[in-house]
Amino acid sequence: MQDQDARDQRSLPAPYQSPWEALRQDLPAAAADLRLRVQELWRRNREGDLSTPGFWPQDLAPLFWPVLLVALLLVLILGGIQLRAALEGVEDDSVPVVERMRTTPLPEARPLMSEPEPLPDPADAAATSPPQAPAPPVQPEPVPLSPVQPELPVLQVDPLLTLLEQVDAEGAGKSGLLLSARPVPADNAAVLVVDAALWSEMPQGLRRERADGWWHTLQDQGYDAITLEDVDQHLLARPARVGGGMIMFDPLPSP
């Protein structure tokens, strides 16, 4: 009868136990066992029972393993610093570089013509100003004579307008279109003034052909640049800074 009861109890399922509850109960025991093992390791190292390399002095056996652990920690720390510096360098190199582009400047602006101020009336100025005593005569100071410097050769055709009109006559161009031609020696250039009404009546292709003809003629005479404008100093054409030929501007409509 007792054997039958024992067999029946063994055939019953084991009671369920939560693994987390078992882990909570085993943690204090595991911590105590780990503490005992660390104490045992520390004692054996202090007594010199731990194995050491043959080159290490036996008297300094307790210091071998602590020194080895410190060296490993230093190697890990230095390796992490080097890896971080390398990653920062790669991130800096991946930043795109902004490319700077130089553009050609716009045509130079010219100051507007200002109206001349009216001169004061001499009679009003004499009436409002108090009488002044005559100033004593001042002897003029001798002016030192400066050495005469040779004038630089001016690149111009005398007369410049006559030359360009002859070119227009040879090419059967419209007469009266070119009003004046003024050389600018400081810039080695020339300013051509044209009739705005006649210029606007000409087709675009004929205007370009006439401007290119004037530009080639003055290039042969040694000029570096020319400018076409009307009597109001509105820019009509200038040489291209890149390549060749003239850049044309639309004339302003007449008021």
Please report whether residue 47 resides in a domain: yes
pLDDT at residue number 90: 72
User: Is the pLDDT reported for residue 148 higher than 60?
Assistant: no
Pairing status of strand 246-248 against strand 235-239: antiparallel
pLDDT value of position 77: 95
Last residue in a domain, options 46, 71, 92: 92
pLDDT, tens digit (0-9, with 9 covering 90-100), for 27-67: 888 999 899 989 888 888 888 777 888 888 888 888 888 88
Q: Domain boundary at 65, 92, 119, which?
A: 92
Quote the Cα angle for 77-81-86, to 5°: 145
Looking at the 3D structure of the chain, how many domains does it have?
A: 2
Residue type, 118: P
Note the pTM of the prediction, 2 decimals.
Answer: 0.37
106 occurs within a structural domain: no
Long-range contacts, stretch 241-247, CB < 8 angstroms, 24+ apart: 241/104, 242/104, 245/208, 245/212, 245/215, 246/208, 246/211, 246/212, 246/215
Asked whether residue 115 is assigned to any structural domain, the reply reads no
Q: Is residue 144 part of a domain?
A: no
Output phi, psi for 4, to 5 deg.
-65, -40
Segments forming the whole domain that contains residue 244: 160-248
Out of 92, 124, 141, pick the residue that ends a domain: 92
First to last CA, the chain: 134
Mean pLDDT of 214-237: 86
152 lies in some domain: no
Would 73 be classed as within a structural domain? yes
Calpha distance 159→223 (Å, rounded):
15
Note whether residue 181 is domain-resident: yes
Between the CA of residue 57 and those of 48, 62, 71, 72, 231, what are the distances in Å? 11, 10, 18, 20, 106
Q: Does residue 145 lie in a domain region?
A: no
